[in-house]
A and B are shown apart, each in its own frame.
Chain A
Amino acid sequence: MSGGGSAALAIAAKDATETWRDGRFRWAAGLLFVLLVAAIAGGVQYQRDVARQHADAQRAERDAWLDKGDMNPHAAAHYGAFVFKPVQPLSAIEPGLDPFLGVFVFLEAHKQQLARHRPIEDASPTRRLGLLTPATAALVLLPLLVISLTFSTFAGERDQGTLRPLLALGVSRGSLLAGKALGALLPLVLIITPATLVAAVLLYLSAPADPGAPIGARAFGLLAVYVVHAMIWTGLGLAISARARSQATALVVLLALWFANAFVMPPVAMAIAKTITPSPSAIEFAAAIEDEKDTWPNWDQRVDEVMQRFLDGEFESTFTPANVEVVALVESEAAETALYDRHFQSLFDRYERQGRTYEHASIVAPTVAARMLSMALAGTDAAHDRVFAAAAATYRTQMLTTLNSELSQSGRLNTFDYVRGRDLWEQVPPFDYDVPAAGWALGERWWSIAVLVAWLAGVSAAAAWSVASMRLE
């Protein structure tokens, strides 16, 4: 065992040294490192700027809400409240879906809206070609370096005729594989370690004084996902290098797999998901809500109907006719909230099903699974967005309930003359959103975790089998 182990280490040391001495590798690795650090620095700066904007805006909005002067509580509900989406610290590493999601929601009486102003709408179309982020560098560019390190591992030695002499020295195939794998992973460690340190220092320096939630576990999870993903590609590279007819074939096959994983599978998986679970276009979604509202009684009819119930003695005796309008208001508000909730839930349910189908497709594309996990850990995926949307909707209900119950409890004859001030506005607490725990995020993405683990096990087995059965010349 120790003999095999030392042989493996010797092979690893030799390979890693050769790789390191190779000018082309140093260029490629150097470039990747520079890109990675630029992406981290750019991401941290951008994230810090946007986080500050959102925090400032939320404070200004709160002040505006409190200082809006005296008015009727229902007028205050129409004045409404802006809720800005808090920016997650790890979006500096993985912005995920943030550029494709609205940055704020306007909460008001009678209506609910989807979050508005997705940054992608304002960006020039070329932004759709992709943004260099640390996550992209780790999940798309790093595998290329892995491919360049592994494609010639066995195929190259075979092409040069050095494979047979190497095994003739008494090195077992198992030690050979272990040595080659270590030899490929060592240079990666030399890139990943300093890049992680840079990211950790920059994230620490840019962290707000009062962090909303601890990010240690999530950050560690991100690193683990990127490392496991790189290991999967290492195993794939070794397995294919051992099987391929020549190193050129190995390179072409690996590059094709890389391209399919990073660029073809995501849109194809989404096209499949949308075919299985269609989702409405904007106009269909809006029309469905409007059609349902059109069948409702109008305001005058609502008031008449409540008045009739009042005359029938349905309400307590303290109930004055003016309160009839408040009852109508509260009832219509409840019906509207229920209507919007139903349509929004149905839309989000469809999106969630589309997301699951998309995630299931990762069974043939580990990069898709790694990306899903990466976004989940950074808190920038669709699941986190849904939690935020739910929090905003709950806050809206809370705000309206506070204001409406004030109206119905006022005990005044003419309810809509009733004016309140700052003391009531203060009863509506500031919007507070707690990011779910890392464990919840991982639980949502159990399929992706399973896929990554299965792929790692699969490529390890495939590499072992390929090396055990590989031709020597």
Chain B
Amino acid sequence: MVGFLARHEWKLLTASAVMRLVLIVFFLVIGAATLLGTARAARERQTYDVFQQRAAQQRAQPLSLRADVVANEKGWLAVVPPAPLAALAVGQSDVYPSYLRITARNLDALVTGDQIEHPLAVASGHLDLAFVVLFLYPLLIFAVSFDLTATERDRGTLRMVLAQPVSLREVVAGKMIARVVLLAIPIAVIPVVIGSVWFATAEFVVWTVAVLVYGLIWHGLALIVNARGWSAPANALVLAGVWLMFAIVGPATINLLIAVRYPMPSRVEAAVQARAATQDATLQGSRQLGQFLQDHPTSANVGRDGMRQFALLQARRDQQVADRLQRVEAAFDAQLERQQRLAGWLSVLSPTMVMQDVLLDVAGTSANRFEHFRAAAEAFQHEWQQYFEPRVLDAATLTPGDIAAAPVLAYSPEPATAILMRTALPIAGMLIVGLLLLLSGFKVYERYSL
């Protein structure tokens, strides 16, 4: 019976001119977002390929065979590979490092190349599928369901329908099912059609499940508002307010609360502390190095012994500075982690914030994927340093064979299961909230006055 009602409702929905307009706009926006995202991801992929090739060429034909030039001045360029679902959500990929330069030094072992983009572009956000899912999808859920039964009740047709052997619960369930399916299909299908590359990957399955679960929350909210028995315009106004509070004002207010109550540790203060902590070691080391040697060792006037001595002094100084720097950085990182944990708890209050975290994690444009890459790069740095440090200290000239035998970074991205493990809890949480909302919606509908 519910199936029949849902099919009937489907016909009514798809026959309505207004609904068609709403759906066409929805299709267009999803399409545009997917195209923009795919183009962006293609560009990223292309840049990645170009620089992988370039790095391979430079290893085959190095500019210099001096060990410190190969190991430190050029180093290893580790480009962060684009994530498989990067086309779906730009996330933080416009500010996080897009590459790391790895050297054999103790200091500046990993130099991050933060992504650069017009600050206005970062501030404006991106029209990607994540944006559509987070903001537009809930709005459209409300747009198609603000008048589940109000107008039919006011016209008296609902009473006639209920004269048939169906219950109000079944009628409402049929209407809900038709609406859930109607909106879920384009948002799940269009990205696959336009960017068919990532169809059926595990990540995409998680993405789709998360989207459907997120939708349930908003359908549930719509159901509860409808069940209150107000008129259709009143429902529309209340739902607009609900959307505004949960999707826009809520996250913005929570972010304000976080900024004021749990401010991020100051990078500025950390920079001053790092300067103070390393000052002695830097100055002492510099004096030992000799003023000229520190910056401009010319092979002509110091000879190889001089070069060796210089390299050793420099390595010792770098070690001392790096040790002190590490303490400051570790303190900063611990403080930042504490702040993010507290901030994370507050964001549970908004489904949009929870969902945003999940989507970026699945798309591979959140901190997690980058941290994973960084850990791999750090492990590789140790290999690189172990291989090159003795040769640098020896002021050696390398042979092409030495360079060919140097370690190579082989990065395999995080397995999908790791992402699944991280996102399972928030998705399950959203599912429970969504189901509870739907259940209470039906519960309230029991007292619906015809």
Residues of A within 8 A of B (CB): 28, 35, 38-39, 42, 45-46, 49-50, 53-54, 56-57, 60-61, 64, 68-69, 71-72, 74-75, 78-79, 82, 84, 96-97, 99-101, 103-104, 109, 114, 116-133, 136, 140-141, 144, 247-248, 251-252, 255, 259, 263-264, 266-271, 273-274, 279-287, 294, 299-300, 303, 325, 329, 347, 351, 354-355, 358, 382, 385, 416-419
Q: Does B188 contact A (CB under 8 A)?
A: no
B291→A270 contact, CB < 8 A: no
For the residues of A in contact with B, the DSSP-based class is helix
Please, which residue of chain B has its CB at the minimum distance from the CB of A74? B295
Given A97-B119, A120-B95, CB of A130 within 8 Å of CB of B279: no
Given A125-B366, A283-B98, CB of A101 within 8 Å of CB of B119: yes
Given A71-B283, A126-B251, CB of A38 within 8 Å of CB of B122: no
A416 in complex: contacting residue of B77, B249, B260, B291, CB < 8 Å: B291
A136→B252 contact, CB < 8 A: yes
CA distance A101 to B276 in the complex (A): 25
When distances are taken between beta carbons in the complex, the residues of chain B under 8 Å from A266 are: 123-125
A271 in complex: contacting residue of B114, B122, B127, B240, CB < 8 Å: B127
Interface size on B, residues (CB 8 A): 90
Residues of B within 8 A of A (CB): 29, 36, 44, 47, 51, 54, 63, 77, 79, 91-92, 95-99, 113-127, 131, 134-135, 139, 232-233, 236-237, 240-241, 244, 248-249, 251-260, 263-269, 271-272, 275-276, 279, 282-283, 286-287, 291-292, 294-296, 298-300, 336, 340, 343-344, 347, 352-353, 356-357, 360, 366-367
When distances are taken between beta carbons in the complex, the residues of chain A under 8 Å from B299 are: 300
Enumerate the 3 nearest inter-chain pairs by beta-carbon distance, A residue then B residue, closest first.
Answer: A416-B292, A72-B291, A266-B124
Given A53-B269, A75-B291, CB of A270 within 8 Å of CB of B118: yes
B123→A114 contact, CB < 8 A: no
A125→B118 contact, CB < 8 A: no
When distances are taken between beta carbons in the complex, the residues of chain B under 8 Å from A252 are: 236
A100 in complex: contacting residue of B119, B131, B260, B356, CB < 8 Å: B119
A61→B272 contact, CB < 8 A: yes
CA distance A283 to B343 in the complex (A): 32
A268→B127 contact, CB < 8 A: yes
Given A282-B116, A325-B296, CB of A125 within 8 Å of CB of B357: yes
When distances are taken between beta carbons in the complex, the residues of chain B under 8 Å from A128 are: 91-92, 125, 356
A122→B264 contact, CB < 8 A: yes
B79 in complex: contacting residue of A99, A270, A283, A329, CB < 8 Å: A283
When distances are taken between beta carbons in the complex, the residues of chain A under 8 Å from B118 are: 270, 273-274, 279, 351, 354-355, 382
Given A121-B114, A300-B299, A416-B291, CB of A282 within 8 Å of CB of B99: yes
When distances are taken between beta carbons in the complex, the residues of chain A under 8 Å from B124 are: 266-267, 269-270, 358
Please, which residue of chain A has its CB at the minimum distance from the CB of B341? A124
When distances are taken between beta carbons in the complex, the residues of chain B under 8 Å from A100 are: 95, 119-120, 122-123
When distances are taken between beta carbons in the complex, the residues of chain B under 8 Å from A131 are: 252, 255-256, 259
Please, which residue of chain B has its CB at the minimum distance from the CB of A70? B287
CA distance A120 to B264 in the complex (A): 10
CA distance A42 to B269 in the complex (A): 21
CA distance A468 to B239 in the complex (A): 34
CA distance A21 to B323 in the complex (A): 67
CA distance A99 to B265 in the complex (A): 14
B271→A42 contact, CB < 8 A: no
When distances are taken between beta carbons in the complex, the residues of chain B under 8 Å from A130 are: 248, 251-252, 255
When distances are taken between beta carbons in the complex, the residues of chain B under 8 Å from A97 are: 119-120, 123
Please, which residue of chain A has its CB at the minimum distance from the CB of B44? A281
A248 in complex: contacting residue of B115, B117, B233, B347, CB < 8 Å: B233
B271 in complex: contacting residue of A46, A78, A82, A271, CB < 8 Å: A82
CA distance A128 to B121 in the complex (A): 12
B268→A54 contact, CB < 8 A: yes
CA distance A102 to B279 in the complex (A): 23
Task: Name, among A60, A123, A329, A418, the residue most crowded by chain B CB atoms within 10 Å (CB to CB).
Answer: A123
